[in-house]
C-alpha cells in the first residue's frame, strides 16, 4: 500500500461503522482532494468495500485485519514461489568469483543463513551455540527440502535438524584459547561459503562463491567431524588413554596458538 492507502485503511479499521470519504479524510489525514481515489484503490485491492445507501451515497468499510494479513501472506508467498521458479532460469554462471568482507554480527549471521537457504544438495556447518540459533530455522528448512546437512557444534545445544556432531577432540575452551575467537564456517554445495570470527562487540567474516575457497572450508568441516567420530570410537574400544595422552595428538590439540588475535586483512 501507499502511505495514503495505509492511513485510509487504518482509519476505516479503527472505526466501528462505515465511513464516507469526508470522514476518512478527517480521521486519516489523507487530503480530501485524493481521498476518493485512495479509497478506490483500497477497494480494488480488496482491502475495503463500498457500501451504497438508499440515497445512493457511498460509504466504506475495511476488510478485517486478519483477512487482510492472510491475503497479503498469500500474495507474498505466491510472489516468492514465482521468483523461485523464474530467477534460477535467468541466472547465468558467473564469469568472476568474489570474496566479500562482512562486518558486524547481524551481517554475518544473515549471510550465513543465506548460504544455508541457497543450498540444494549439501551443507556443512561448524558453529558455536551462541550463533547456532540464527541458523536453526534455515537448517530445518534445508533438511525439509532434502538437503544433507552436517553440523559440528562447539558445546552443548538442543538438537539441530539433520546430522549434528559435538566437538570433543579438543574441548571448546581449548579451541577458544587457541583461536581467541569463535570461528563459524558455513558451506553450501561446495559452491558458497561463509567464514566468520564471532566475538562480543567485534564480529566479522567473509563470504565467497569461489569453489576453491568453498572446497577447502567444506573439507575442513568434514575432517573435523571425522576426527570427532574417530575420537569417540577410540574411547569406545578402550583406546581412550592413547587418545588423551599421546604427545602428537596433544600437540595438535593445544599448540599453534595464534601470535596475534584474528583480524580481517587490512586492519591494524
Q: pLDDT band at residue 243, thresholds of 50, 70 and 90? A: low
CA 91 – CA 84 distance, rounded (Å): 11
Q: Which residues contact 157 (CB under 8 A, 6 or more apart)?
A: 129, 132
Q: Which residues contact 26 (CB under 8 A, 6 or more apart)?
A: none
Q: pLDDT band at residue 268, thresholds of 50, 70 and 90? A: very low
Q: What is the pLDDT of residues 95-145, one digit of tens each?
A: 556 778 888 888 899 999 999 998 999 999 999 998 898 899 999 999 999
The helix (run of H) or strand (run of E) holding residue 151 is: strand 148-153
**Domains of the chain in sequence order:** 3-65 (1.10.10.10), 99-254 (3.30.870.10)
Q: pLDDT band at residue 267, thresholds of 50, 70 and 90? A: very low
CA 33 – CA 31 distance, rounded (Å): 5
Q: How many helices (H) and strands (E) does the chain have?
A: 10, 9
Q: What is the pLDDT of residues 4-63, one digit of tens each?
A: 999 999 999 888 788 999 999 999 999 989 999 999 999 998 888 888 887 888 899 988
Q: What is the pLDDT of residues 167-199, one digit of tens each?
A: 877 778 878 877 778 999 999 999 899 999 887
What φ, ψ does residue 198 adopt, rounded to 5°? Answer: -105, 125
Cell, residue 143: 533438511
Give the bridge partners for 186, in sequence order.
Answer: 125, 194
CA 116 – CA 220 distance, rounded (Å): 17
Amino acid at each position: 500500500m501507499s502511505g495514503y492507502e495505509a492511513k485510509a485503511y487504518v482509519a476505516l479499521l479503527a472505526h466501528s461503522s462505515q465511513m464516507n470519504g469526508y470522514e476518512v479524510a478527517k480521521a486519516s489525514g489523507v487530503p480530501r482532494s485524493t481521498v476518493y481515489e485512495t479509497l478506490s484503490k483500497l477497494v480494488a485491492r480488496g482491502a475495503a468495500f463500498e457500501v451504497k445507501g438508499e440515497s445512493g451515497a457511498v460509504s466504506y468499510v475495511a476488510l478485517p485485519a486478519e483477512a487482510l494479513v492472510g491475503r497479503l501472506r498469500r500474495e507474498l508467498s505466491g510472489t516468492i514461489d514465482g521468483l523461485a521458479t523464474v530467477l534460477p532460469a535467468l541466472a547465468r554462471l558467473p564469469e568472476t568469483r568474489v570474496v566479500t568482507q562482512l562486518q558486524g554480527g547481524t551481517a554475518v549471521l544473515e549471510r550465513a543463513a543465506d548460504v544455508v537457504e541457497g543450498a540444494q544438495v549439501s551443507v556443512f556447518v561448524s558453529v558455536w551455540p551462541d550463533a547456532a540459533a540464527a541458523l536453526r530455522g534455515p537448517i530445518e528448512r534445508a533438511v525439509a527440502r532434502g538437503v544433507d546437512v552436517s553440523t559440528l557444534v562447539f558445546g552443548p545445544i538442543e538438537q539441530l535438524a539433520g546430522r549434528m556432531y559435538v566437538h570433543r577432540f579438543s574441548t571448546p575452551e581449548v579451541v577458544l584459547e587457541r583461536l581467541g575467537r569463535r570461528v563459524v564456517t558455513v558451506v553450501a554445495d561446495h559452491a558458497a561459503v561463509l567464514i566468520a570470527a564471532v566475538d562480543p562487540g567485534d564480529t566479522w567474516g567473509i563470504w565467497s562463491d569461489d569453489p576453491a575457497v568453498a572446497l577447502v572450508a567444506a573439507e575442513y568441516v568434514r575432517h573435523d567431524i571425522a576426527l570427532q567420530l574417530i575420537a569417540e570410537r577410540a574411547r569406545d574400544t578402550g583406546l581412550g588413554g592413547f587418545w588423551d595422552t599421546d604427545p602428537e595428538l596433544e600437540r595438535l590439540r593445544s599448540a599453534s596458538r595464534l601470535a596475534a588475535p584474528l583480524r580481517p586483512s587490512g586492519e591494524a
